[in-house]
Amino acid sequence: MLTTHCLCTKLRRAARSVTRVYDDALHGLGLNVAQYSLLSHLQRLEQPSISALAEAMGLDRSTLGRNLKVLEGEGLVQMGEGSDLRARQVQLTAEGLARYQRGATAWQEAQAQLALRLGAEKREALWLLLDDLETID
């Protein structure tokens, strides 16, 4: 891998490495990190509109829509009618909730693996940096 002094390149490489840890942990469930994250948000938000879910996840509606179609095709989520077509609601199915719950242990193991790799001091510093970077507009 070529060395770089570009923040964007370094962050993207780091994100791909971290994503691989979670994807590997979730592999046996037939989920990737983006899908599990979506299930997790749905579990926490109960029946959000697509717009509310997109905002909570920091995604645009089109990206979220593509991800939802995959999960809907697998019977993990279902779309319901909202007050209008733009306010359609999304909810976990029973299978979606079960898959989310089975994934919780794998997710926690991936979290623990990364926390151990970083150590408490680096992990805390990383949290602060990421909090700062999340608010760049």
**CATH code of the domain in which 22 resides:** 1.10.10.10
In this prediction, residue 57 carries a pLDDT of 93
pTM of the model: 0.86
Residue 136, domain member (yes or no): no
96-125 residue pLDDT tens: 999 999 999 999 999 999 999 999 999 999
29-81 residue pLDDT tens? 999 999 999 999 999 998 898 989 999 998 998 889 899 999 999 999 999 88
pLDDT of the residue at 1:
78
Helix, strand, coil share of the chain (percent; to 5): 75, 5, 20
CA quadruple 18, 31, 68, 49: dihedral sign: negative
Within-domain flag for 137: no
Distance CA 41, CA 71 (A): 13
Q: Look up the domain containing 109 and give its range.
A: 10-123
Q: Is residue 78 part of a domain?
A: yes
